[in-house]
Structure 1
């Protein structure tokens, strides 16, 4: 394909992706109240546990509407993600060997599973535990929690963990194009540990080291998994297999 053909293909994939995002948004907006109830559940539980009022507040009449739009857009992105990932795969697949193209379904399943695992890990354990710690630490104050601020905190933690769990997929692409190698990843593991803890410190809503370690532990495991992924798909190994065949 020429450069213009590549650009035309990229434009087509981007248009399809935007359409999927718009459809996903309207589907999610149809369930915006149920989505909000699901999002509010962790803080409602934490507030009840500490005998505090559970209703969140708004400072402006449009705050509630803006919050519904925000969460509908984010959930719409998640709903549309499989189709968008398929468009990404269609764009890069011409540069792969024929036997590698059969990995499209494992790629999509792994990407979605990793993201949902990270989001569920944050929603089920990390976020509720962080809220419990924060309310216990500031028990002498009366909380007045604004709905948009809570939404931003919720999305930061949940989406941050979901995206962080995509590390093996990122390494997969970098290794496919020979940008990184398993040797490079293993040699620089000490820097990876430092970066993982920096990321954990950024997305951790509480300042205690224990919560930071809870964030960092699965990320370190995923980094080790990424080394194995890089070994499997690196061009040097693919070249050896092709020569052997």
Structure 2
């Protein structure tokens, strides 16, 4: 009797949650999307101005890996530029990138507010774990690149310049820096991407596991693209955390896939 009463309570809760899902017309969806987009743009602009106030410190932070690597090889640490506007454009680019990073948590919150009306009440409580996981994964990937991958890559590349005089241009170095740091930060967001794809039923844990060999191939192709050095060791260093994150993503997909949620509701209704 107790089990039957508990099952009835779970079924009543499931029905209540279904009723709580609000219905929105296409126009209401578009208005909500416009609202979230405007808020995100405002946050991005504010982040840019905040970052521009610290643009010189940001550049020093970005320049540190190449400065250390050049000193280790007894080379000149002064970077060069070819056009008088290069320095100004560089500060603008860095301020925009850092401003986007500063505004990212708020933008992610706006995205969550846009999709949350289509979720059940018990699913909406995952907003803060979602925010924490997204920000932590990105900064974890960026730190991994800044602390280990990028310095190792620079040291490897400069080892071939002992007989040459390097003239490292600021825009080229900035492009290399952003490719590695932001590339690794973005690839560490793989579980979050899989969570959204699974949440809307686009992929399933079975699909991810069945096609794991193709995923490994794609991961190594991506690692080869964003790795600044041609050696296989550095490419494996890029690919290893991505493979671990892919396995984690399979577990995330299992937890949020609609099929699992339907089975849980059906079992609760019985």
What's the TM-score, normalizing by structure 1?
0.99
Alpha-carbon distance, 1:194 to partner: 0.3
Provide the residue aligned with 1:40 in structure 2.
63
| Pairing 1:169–2:192 present | yes
Per-residue CA distance 1:108-158 (angstroms, 9 max, x = gap): 000000000000000000000000000002322211000011001100000
Provide the residue aligned with 2:235 in structure 1.
212
CA distance in 2, matches of 1:92, 1:140: 57
CA distance in 1, matches of 2:97, 2:36: 20
CA distance in 1, matches of 2:163, 2:230: 18
Alpha-carbon distance, 1:32 to partner: 0.5
Gaps of 5+ in 2: 1-23
Alpha-carbon distance, 1:190 to partner: 0.3
| Pairing 1:231–2:254 present | yes
Partner of residue 155 from structure 2, selected from 132, 145, 164:
132
Gaps of 5+ in 1: none
Provide the residue aligned with 1:65 in structure 2.
88
The secondary structure found in structure 2 opposite 1:137 is coil
The secondary structure found in structure 1 opposite 2:179 is helix
Provide the residue aligned with 1:25 in structure 2.
48
| Pairing 1:182–2:205 present | yes
Alpha-carbon distance, 1:203 to partner: 0.3
CA distance in 2, matches of 1:76, 1:173: 25
CA distance in 2, matches of 1:236, 1:119: 34
Partner of residue 116 from structure 1, selected from 139, 145, 154:
139
Provide the residue aligned with 1:147 in structure 2.
170
What's the TM-score, normalizing by structure 2?
0.90
Provide the residue aligned with 2:98 in structure 1.
75
Partner of residue 96 from structure 1, selected from 100, 115, 119:
119
CA distance in 2, matches of 1:140, 1:116: 37
Alpha-carbon distance, 1:241 to partner: 1.4
CA distance in 2, matches of 1:130, 1:196: 19
CA distance in 2, matches of 1:95, 1:242: 17
Per-residue CA distance 1:22-59 (angstroms, 9 max, x = gap): 00000000000110000000000000000000010011
| Pairing 1:193–2:213 present | no
Query: What RMSD over aligned residues (CA atoms) do the two structures have, in Å?
Result: 0.6
Runs in 1 of length 4+ with deviation above 2 angstroms? none
Whichever of the two has the greater Rg, that structure is 2
Count of residues in Structure 1 that have an aligned counterpart in Structure 2:
245
CA distance in 2, matches of 1:129, 1:142: 20
Alpha-carbon distance, 1:240 to partner: 1.4
Answer 1 or 2: higher relative contact order, Cα 8 Å, separation at least 6. Answer: 2
CA distance in 2, matches of 1:137, 1:228: 43
The secondary structure found in structure 1 opposite 2:71 is helix
